[in-house]
């Protein structure tokens, strides 16, 4: 992670400010989709973020899981959440909503 020096001299120790490794500014006010640790998925309009990748999403929709297959999402079954703060430590994936489509798993043999 890139660091920037800030502040004065503190007994020879310099304070460093953490800088985010992702530039999410190009996704502000655009629809994004996020995956969380534990498997939850949601999409919403990115309203803000910080260096720790905490996100603020508006008009958020959570995609619910199929009760028979816990690893399969049901695209038609959703829950509206509204304005949400997503904690950066729980995020696994951040991607733009445009251009996202489901494909068949190539590793499953039938």
Q: Which two tokens stand for residue 63?
A: 């995609």
Q: Among 24, 31, 27, 38, which residue's Cα sits nearest to residue 100? A: 31
Domains of the chain: 23-94 (2.30.30.100)
Q: How far apart are the C-alpha atoms of 87 and 81, rounded to whole Å?
A: 15
The pLDDT assigned to 107 comes to 85
**DSSP 3-state assignment of 35?**
strand
Instruction: Give the distance, in angstroms, between the CA of residue 95 and the centroid of all CA atoms in the same chain.
Output: 7
pLDDT tens-digit profile, the chain (110 residues): 455 555 555 555 666 666 667 788 989 999 999 999 888 899 999 999 998 899 999 999 998 877 677 666 666 788 899 999 999 999 999 999 887 677 787 888 76
Query: What's the confidence (pLDDT) of residue 32?
Result: 95
């Amino acid at each position: 992670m890139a660091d920037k020096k800030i502040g004065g001299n503190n007994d020879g120790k310099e304070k460093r400010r953490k800088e985010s490794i992702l530039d999410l500014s190009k996704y502000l006010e655009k629809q994004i989709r996020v995956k969380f640790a534990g498997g939850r998925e949601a999409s919403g309009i990115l309203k803000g973020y910080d260096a720790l990748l905490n996100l603020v999403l508006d008009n958020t929709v959570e995609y619910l899981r199929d009760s028979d297959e816990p690893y399969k999402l049901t695209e038609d079954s959703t829950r509206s959440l509204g304005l949400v703060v997503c904690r950066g430590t729980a995020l696994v994936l951040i991607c733009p909503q445009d251009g996202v489509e489901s494909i068949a798993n190539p590793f499953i043999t039938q």
